[in-house]
Amino acid sequence: MEETSGGPVAEDVRRRILSMLAQGMLRPGSRLGTEREMAETFAVSRSTLRSALLPLSQAGVLERRTGRNGGTFVRADVVQRNAAELVGLPARLHSGGHTSTSRVLGTDRRPATAIEAEALEVPLGTDIFTIRRLRFADGVPLSVDLACFVAGRMNDLLEQPLGGSLYELLQVRYGLTPATTTETIEVVSASPREAQWLDVAHRKPLLAITRVTRDDTGRPFEYAYDLFRADRVRLTATSHGTVGAVQRSVSTTA
């Protein structure tokens, strides 16, 4: 049976949902429930509920997802991020009209692994600080970030407030300003722990961005591995100069 926008009862349900959004009772990414749960909540038939939801889905206010973790959700806007940009994520989100919050999942001081030591250009086993954070855009999980820094260049880093922009903190306290950054981008599958953090299904595709950031002397001070929800971020890239001056490296694995 084809869905329609319904009559006055369906219109009342639509107005109630929009009122909940306006009052902040529902936020981007909020799950309203399954069709049956919502019909019970609003005390209407499932056919009336479908009629109420149709215009909101067509307008991009709501999205309906199928599957085990399905239901009706308040649509969360896609975040646009420039590849290899030198701006911290909070600044990028705010410039795009999004709210930004972070939750520190864990910190550590430990010897650098071979990969970390090579990226940071320090001897194997050099002490590094690691900071893992869950980042939110508009109240919805966006990414899990793991940042590694050479401990000797910022001995009291883990004693500082780490919920905001690390780049701003590094610049103000340690005089470190990002001058260049190199990123490698690939698609990976969410592990059970990553899926729980990001509120996605296990094995859901994620964008993995490995980053090395250097200061104005060319010395690397950050090695990072960020996992973004693929349904919430759009990457853009801009090249300048002639075709011959642009170099791209593409690698594939079987």
What confidence score (pLDDT) does residue 217 get?
94
Say if residue 28 is in the same domain as residue 126. Answer: no
Question: CA separation (Å) from 153 to 122, 148, 149, 229?
Answer: 12, 12, 8, 32
Q: Would you state the pLDDT for residue 254? A: 31
Whether residues 133 and 179 share a domain: the answer is yes
- Has residue 1 been placed in a domain? no
- Say if pTM beats, i.e. exceeds, 0.85: no
pLDDT tens digits, 52-107 = 888 887 766 787 777 666 788 877 666 666 666 666 676 666 666 667 789 999 99
| Whether residue 135 is found in the same domain as residue 163 | yes
**What is the count of structural domains for the chain?**
2
Residue 63, domain member (yes or no) = yes
Predicted local distance difference test score (pLDDT) of residue 15: 87
Residues 205, 120 share a domain: yes
Domain co-membership, 52 together with 91: no
Looking at the structure, do residues 97 and 197 belong to the same domain, yes or no?
A: yes
Note whether residue 62 is domain-resident: yes
**CATH number of the domain residue 117 falls in:** 3.40.1410.10
- Whether 247 is covered by a domain: the verdict is no
Which of 72, 88, 112 delimits the end of a domain? 72
As a whole number of angstroms, the distance between CA 148 and CA 125 comes to 13
- Give domain status of residue 122, yes or no: yes
Domain-located, residue 249: no
Longest dimension (CA), the chain: 71
17: domain CATH number? Answer: 1.10.10.10
pLDDT tens profile 1-58: 334 556 889 889 988 888 887 777 877 777 888 888 889 999 999 999 988 888 887 7
**Domain residue limits at 49:** 6-72
- Is the domain of 134 the same as that of 203? yes
Is 84 in the same domain as 193? yes
Both 199 and 148 in one domain: the answer is: yes
* Claim to verify: residue 56 and residue 81 sit in the same structural domain: no
Return the pLDDT at 169.
94
Domain shared by 131 and 35, yes or no? no
Q: Are residues 150 and 202 in the same domain?
A: yes
